[in-house]
Amino acid sequence: MARAVAGEAHAAFFSISASEFIEAIVGVGASRVRDLFAKARGAAPSIVFIDELDAIGRSRQASVSLAGANDEREQTLNQILSELDGFEPAEAVVVLAATNRPEVLDPALLRPGRFDRRVAVQAPDRVGRRRIVEVRTRAIPLAGGVDLAAIAATTPGMVGVDLANLANEAALQAARRNHQRVQTADFTDALEKILLGAPRGIVLSSVDRERTAYHEAGHALIGMLTPGADPVRRVSIIPRGGALGVTLSTPDDDRVSHTREDLVGKIEAGLGGRVAEVAVYGTITTGAESDIELVTAIARQMVGRWGMSEAIGFVTVIPSETGNAFGSVRETSEATQQLIDAQVRQLIDRLTAM
């Protein structure tokens, strides 16, 4: 994106990773910062892009020592801050940076005049995915029936590199099958391999195959009959990755929010395999391990983060996934933690009983 911005602005482009500033010898990193910005000013108008900014721009409050933390990292950070002072209105140098951990950055970097404009890069929507797939398949001969719009619709949440991997894997599948052109089945199998894992070369006994079939049938039936659950795309009892069978469910449209009914539907679909085993065999196995993890994670988020429990109320009692720069600090009491566990168990038990 930074390179595209430089191209649209007809500006010189300089790119560097923040980790390249870090050296054992104090002062080397600051010197490299000065050299980089000197080159950028000499080629102005220009754009400087710093990747993985958190490698050098971590908050200094967590690393203060008795010696004042006057180390290489802090000197380099101070030099970057001085280069971004914003007191030279005539300089045609724009600095862009990227990080996936904005919560650990030093507050001085985010003040006005420095990195004061944030752009959250989200996963592309269906239209964006279709255009990405069109670009990634330009050099791939496609069969006449390949619908790139349908491929984009079945890949929610995927980003550019995921779609590039999908196109490459589909081409490999076609080559293995001696196809002259990549067909829709090649894309379908490639998507399954990416999402579900490659098939394992093991042979299940007839008892295990039957039990796996009932387990996956339970997921599929509940998924198809429960409002709010994602539509079932494919059911397989071929061992893939760490699972003996897989039920693939993906939404029809991109969703940015979920209702309580949607989440309950996901939980019920996840419970379908274990319920089917109990209904048919009257006993349980270890095959529902991943289902239990998924169901528990959804239920805990509903109770502790999304205010969907009357006992907890409209408060957040589970820390954010991003955390903070100084480690996780529990802000809830032991009684609240016990109440969360009780509410999660009550929600799952009630849905299981239904």
In whole angstroms, give the CA distance from residue 93 to residue 87: 12
Q: Where are the beta strands (DSSP E) in the chain?
A: 12-17, 46-51, 93-97, 232-236, 246-249
φ, ψ at 144 (rounded to 5°)? -65, -30
Cβ burial of 315 (10 Å; 0-12, 13-18, 19+) is exposed
Map residue 319 onto helix, strand or coil. Answer: coil
What token pair was written down for 272?
């379908």
Instruction: Using alpha carbons, list the distances in angstroms from residue 81 to 16, 53, 56, 176, 287.
Output: 16, 12, 11, 54, 54
Exposure of 273 by Cβ count < 10 A (0-12 exposed, 13-18 middle, 19+ buried)? buried
**If you search the block for the tokens 């109320």, which residue do you land on?**
313
Write the CB contacts of 129 (distance below 8 Å, at least 6 apart in sequence): 152, 155, 158, 163
- Catalytic residue flag (residue 216): yes
Catalytic residue among 72, 74, 169, 216: 216
Annotated catalytic residues are 216
